[in-house]
Amino acid sequence: MRSMKFLALAAALSLGACSDNNAKIDGPVVKKDTTATPGSDAVFPATSLLQTVVNKYQLPQSGTDYPFDFGSGPKNKLGTLVQVLNGAGFNLQNNLDETVQGGAFLLLLELFGKSLADDANTGVEANLGTGKGGAITDAGAPAPNFTGTGEFTIKTGTTTLKLAGKITGGKLTAAGDLLITIPAGDDASKYPLVTIKKGRLEAIVADSATSAMTSGKINGLLPWTDVTTKIIPAMQVSVDKAYKDPNTAAATKTLMKTLFDVNGDGTITVDEITNSAALKLVLSPDVDGGSGTLDSMSVGMGFTAVKAKIVK
């Protein structure tokens, strides 16, 4: 269901990347106040090794899929949320696939360093992108070419952000905050951006057209303030519109009424979504992001990427 696409991407972590001094990763760490120096003596590598575009995200189906230990045991609250929504009849994976394949949400990842086999000082630049030269899709974006030879441009008005880490035995591990676009609502120009803190990116990397990044995994912490001020309000607009749409299936409307419209007034509000009995347990923070209290939601998902030409 299109109205629920934003939930699938609330991991999707189809994202840019920001640096984080607190990221726990061996190798250079990108400082928050610079995009040029990833560590005390290390310099962000200048040589581009591999340009890629994420062609597939794999949502967790439960809280035990793609977990990460941020200090209080392995967790993935996003997986619990997806499990609840799947049980309610929403196929979030299909929605996410359509968003990526339609070119509305593309993540460009470019690796810098000396070797794709072993490199103690690896840099990753992340950009939101658009397909180049393809037919315009229903999502209003050029259709992406995921064959390994496609050309992509950096999305206008976005910032190139950086992660830093290492490659060991062909496995990339990088750390930094993550910036995510959440495609909520029907107006792409108003999609909210949220920041995933203490982000971690892992993947097997290779100079291969269709297997440039495999076994990919993205983890991080979503600050609860972003959930309450950005995601839930955006969710309300989409869900309420679908609820009032005469073309929405009767069974879906009945489900929405049961889940959200508790007073039966025909309108689904932010408070009704926030306080939904079915979602309340998963719409709550589960990790301490550094404040001494539970102030963030753990997220994790898988991904793959193919080679790309990033036109700058």
- List the domain boundaries for the chain: 2-223+299-311
pLDDT tens for each residue of 47-66: 999 999 999 999 899 999 99
User: What does the pLDDT read at residue 96?
Assistant: 79
Say if residue 27's pLDDT is above 50: no
pLDDT tens for each residue of 28-47: 333 333 333 333 345 789 99
User: What does the pLDDT read at residue 184?
Assistant: 56
What count of Cα atoms within 13 Å lies in the side-chain half-sphere of residue 5? Answer: 27
Query: Where does the pLDDT of residue 95 fall: very low under 50, low under 70, confident under 90, or very high at 90 and above?
Result: confident
Query: Where does the pLDDT of residue 115 fall: very low under 50, low under 70, confident under 90, or very high at 90 and above?
Result: very high
Can you tell me the distance from the alpha carbon of 50 to that of 170, in angstroms, rounded to the nearest whole number? 13
- Global pTM reads 0.80
Say if residue 14's pLDDT is above 50: no
Give the least confident one: 20-34, 47-61, 116-130, 198-212.
20-34
Say if residue 259's pLDDT is above 80: yes
Say if residue 167's pLDDT is above 70: yes
Query: Where does the pLDDT of residue 188 fall: very low under 50, low under 70, confident under 90, or very high at 90 and above?
Result: low
